């Protein structure tokens, strides 16, 4: 797979968030999925370990973050501007609902559907404005101005709440126009968080009475100028944009995730937890590298997880000589996996073959290189284009593939995990819902689709990725374990990602979230030195490594 430098652009200037980390997986593929086949054929003849039960976290999963149903008073209400761009509003509602699910049940609706008293009957309100021609219902304006509940307002439409004079008298600040002049980032809790220049302008403030208003975050420009980005006064917290897109692991999106604690769980104590996942462990893996990584983490008292691929399929150019290798045929690898389970590892199912059995998707049909649950191809500039579901995709097809993966694990005398990681973090909506029904949790950055997409290619403009800084239950129904720091790349092309230094720096930025989970993944073939360095430095920042099932 080739590097993806920038996410695909969508109509109207919107962009798909994330996906930048996919670049390195191609670079690691040759080592992870090719070089070790020869090595393994030279191993002394060994047998599979005897079948056994695996208690505790070996094949476990975390409990859901919070109840997903309950009385309205315990539910967070999310309103999205529904006058100008319904698909964008729907996507924003999904991303906001996913984050808010960490705190309990969520209800989403368009602004026009609001009825009198809803604010008082819900835990709090999150409003997502788009600066369109939205008319706010009179009931909404009355309920907010009466102070009947806590409100987190993001983006536009705030000027429609009441007159400028009455608003300033009530809240102590006055809105201004949008601005994107030279914005470098957002300073929040003393940390400068990144902000992509692709984002929409930030709404500025014409006046702020700092005796009455608490400034929570500030825009920072390239020449050092600042102005408020988020403020709080009375029952209203206001953010000058809808910061739900993220193009970096230190994005100002983290500030929005933290502001939800103020809104929904202000008494939450500070807690710093971390996760590490060993990646792409299939029949071709080097058992010595697996044991070395497991031994290091065990010796340091670091719980960890590891993603297993039950079947390896070789590249298409090999033709009739294309190899197919099952875990049960590599007992030395199975014994190394058993070692990981015995030394603090939680097993994660990372697909069936990590490729799609058809034509190149998009690289060469080899396990580890290609997508399994979503069609892709390379554009003229080698940019990755997401096309749509695998041909023949359905709930039945997905279940059969998962059944086959489980059968392969049982044949190798291994447990069937309760956590699933989609290869390359991509699947169709149908597949995601099957995963939600069959597994206790999913471990990835989820892909979410706007209503404007009906399955045709390209899907890229309609896909949005989300990496939360804590456990959530997403709109597909899955409990989602966060992965938000990426991985160490074999040959990083950009020092801002894929290096030990960038992972640690982003973990430092994520400390702005008061109860965060900083999570990275690692390929054992890279050796133990980079892994040990990241673990030691993150511990130095105050993080405590935990097992996924202890979240």
Task: Encode pLDDT of 72-89 as tens digits.
Answer: 669 999 999 998 788 889
114-129 confidence digits (pLDDT tens): 999 999 999 999 999 9
Is a pLDDT exceeding 50 seen at residue 195? yes
Q: How far apart are CA 237 and CA 233, in angstroms?
A: 6
pLDDT (0 to 100) of residue 10? 35
Q: What is the pLDDT, as a whole number, of residue 245?
A: 87
Sequence-ordered strand ranges (E) for 111-249: 124-129, 151-155, 173-179, 183-188, 191-194, 202-208, 214-221, 226-233, 236-239
Please state, in angstroms and as integers, the Cα–Cα distance from residue 354 to each residue in 286, 368, 421, following that order: 17, 5, 10
The predicted structure's pLDDT at residue 6: 32
Query: Is the pLDDT assigned to residue 233 strictly greater than 90?
Result: yes
CA 245 – CA 58 distance, rounded (Å): 34
Q: Which two tokens stand for residue 12?
A: 């109207």
**pLDDT tens digits, residue range 328-343?**
999 999 999 999 999 9
Q: What is the CATH number of domain 11-52+278-482?
A: 3.20.20
Of 24 and 533, the structure prediction assigns the larger pLDDT to 533
Among 7-16, 39-48, 191-200, 432-441, top mean pLDDT goes to 432-441
Q: Are 125 and 146 in contact (CB under 8 A)?
A: no
Q: Supply the mean pLDDT for the chain.
A: 90
Residue 31 pLDDT greater than 50, yes or no = no
DSSP character at residue 429: H
For residue 70, what pLDDT is reported?
Answer: 59
Q: What is the mean pLDDT of residues 208-234?
A: 96
CATH of domain 72-264: 3.40.50.880
| Better pLDDT: 193 or 29 | 193
Q: What percent of the chain has pLDDT over 90?
A: 80
For residue 327, which of 359, 354, 362, 301 has the smallest C-alpha distance? 354
What pLDDT was estimated at residue 12? 31
Q: How far is CA 269 from the centre of its chain?
A: 23
Partners of residue 386 on adjacent β-strands = 376
Q: Tokens 């809240």 map to which residue? A: 171
**Domain extent listing, the chain:** 11-52+278-482, 72-264
Asked if pLDDT for residue 25 goes beyond 70, the answer is: no
Higher-confidence residue: 149 or 65? 149
DSSP 202: E
Angle at Cα 229 formed by Cα 227 and Cα 235, nearest 5°? 125
Distance CA 263, CA 516 (A): 16
Model pTM? 0.93
355-381 tens-digit pLDDT:
998 899 999 999 999 999 999 999 999
Q: In this predicted structure, what is the pLDDT of residue 67? A: 63
Return the closest-CA partner of residue 274 out of 507, 527, 496. Answer: 507
Token duo for residue 51: 């079948």
d(CA 177, CA 206) in angstroms, rounded, equals 8
pLDDT surpasses 50 at 28: no
Closest CA to 193 of 130, 239, 131, 261: 239
Q: Which of 267, 264, 248 is nearest to 97 (CA)?
A: 264
Closest CA to 398 of 364, 350, 438: 438
Residue of 374, 305, 386 whose CA lies nearest to 340: 305
Are 460 and 17 in contact, with CB atoms under 8 Å apart?
no
Q: Judge contact between 351 and 372, C-beta under 8 A.
A: yes
CB atoms within 10 A of CB 20: 21
For 380-402, the pLDDT digits (tens) are 999 999 999 999 999 999 999 99
Question: 376: closest CA among 418, 416, 415, 426?
Answer: 426
User: Is there a contact between 451 and 90 (Cβ–Cβ < 8 Å)?
Assistant: yes
SS3 329: helix
The string of pLDDT tens digits covering residues 129-184 is 987 778 999 999 999 999 989 999 999 999 999 999 999 999 999 999 888 889 99
pLDDT at position 20 is 44
Q: What percent of the chain has pLDDT over 70?
A: 90
Q: Which pLDDT does position 1 carry in this prediction?
A: 30
């Amino acid at each position: 797979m080739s590097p993806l430098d920038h996410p695909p652009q969508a109509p109207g200037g919107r962009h798909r968030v994330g996906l930048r980390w996919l670049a390195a997986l191609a670079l690691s593929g040759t080592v992870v999925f090719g070089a070790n086949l020869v090595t393994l054929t030279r191993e002394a003849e060994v047998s599979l370990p005897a079948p056994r039960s695996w208690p505790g976290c070996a094949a476990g999963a975390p409990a859901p973050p919070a109840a997903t149903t309950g009385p309205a008073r315990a539910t967070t209400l999310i309103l999205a501007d529904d006058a100008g761009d319904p698909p964008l509003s729907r996507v924003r509602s999904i991303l906001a609902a996913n984050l808010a699910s960490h705190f309990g049940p969520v209800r989403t609706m368009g602004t026009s559907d609001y009825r009198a008293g809803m604010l008082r009957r819900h835990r709090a309100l999150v409003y997502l404005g788009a600066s369109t021609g939205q008319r706010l219902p009179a009931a909404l304006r009355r309920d907010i101005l009466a102070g009947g509940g806590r409100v987190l307002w993001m983006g536009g439409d705030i000027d429609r709440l009441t007159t400028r004079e009455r608003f300033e008298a009530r809240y102590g600040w006055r809105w201004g126009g949008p601005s994107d002049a030279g914005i470098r980032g957002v300073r929040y809790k003393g940390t400068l968080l990144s902000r992509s220049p692709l984002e929409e302008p930030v709404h500025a403030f014409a006046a702020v009475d700092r005796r009455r208003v608490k400034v929570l975050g500030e825009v920072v420009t390239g020449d050092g100028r600042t102005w408020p980005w988020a403020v709080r006064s009375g029952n209203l917290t206001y953010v000058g944009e809808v910061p739900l897109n993220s193009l970096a692991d230190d994005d100002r999106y983290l500030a929005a995730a933290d502001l939800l604690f103020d809104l929904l769980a202000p008494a939450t104590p500070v807690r710093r937890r971390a996760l590490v996942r060993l990646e792409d462990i299939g029949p071709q893996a080097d058992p010595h590298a697996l044991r070395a990584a497991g031994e290091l983490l065990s010796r340091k008292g670091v719980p960890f997880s590891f993603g297993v691929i039950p079947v390896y399929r070789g590249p298409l150019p090999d033709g009739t000589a294309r190899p197919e290798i099952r875990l049960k045929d590599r007992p030395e690898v199975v014994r190394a996996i058993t070692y990981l389970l015995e030394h603090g590892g939680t097993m994660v199912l990372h697909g069936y073959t990590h490729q799609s059995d058809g034509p190149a998707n998009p690289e060469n049909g080899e396990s580890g290189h290609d997508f399994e649950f979503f069609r892709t191809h390379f554009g003229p500039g080698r940019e990755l284009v997401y096309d749509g579901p695998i041909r023949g995709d359905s709930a039945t097809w997905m279940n059969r593939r998962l059944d086959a993966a489980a059968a392969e694990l049982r044949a190798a005398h291994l447990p069937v995990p309760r956590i699933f990681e989609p290869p390359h973090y991509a699947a169709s909506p149908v597949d995601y819902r099957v995963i939600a029904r069959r597994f206790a949790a999913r471990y990835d950055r989820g892909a979410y689709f706007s209503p404007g997409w009906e399955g045709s290619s390209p899907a890229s403009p309609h896909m949005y990725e989300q990496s939360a800084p804590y456990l959530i239950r997403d709109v597909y129904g899955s409990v989602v374990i966060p992965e938000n720091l990426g991985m160490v790349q074999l040959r990083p092309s950009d020092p801002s990602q894929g290096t030990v230094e960038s992972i640690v720096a982003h973990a430092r930025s994520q400390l702005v979230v008061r109860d965060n989970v900083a999570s990275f993944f690692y390929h054992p073939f890279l050796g133990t030195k980079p892994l040990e360095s990241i673990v030691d430095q993150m511990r130095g920042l105050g993080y405590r490594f935990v097992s996924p099932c202890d979240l």
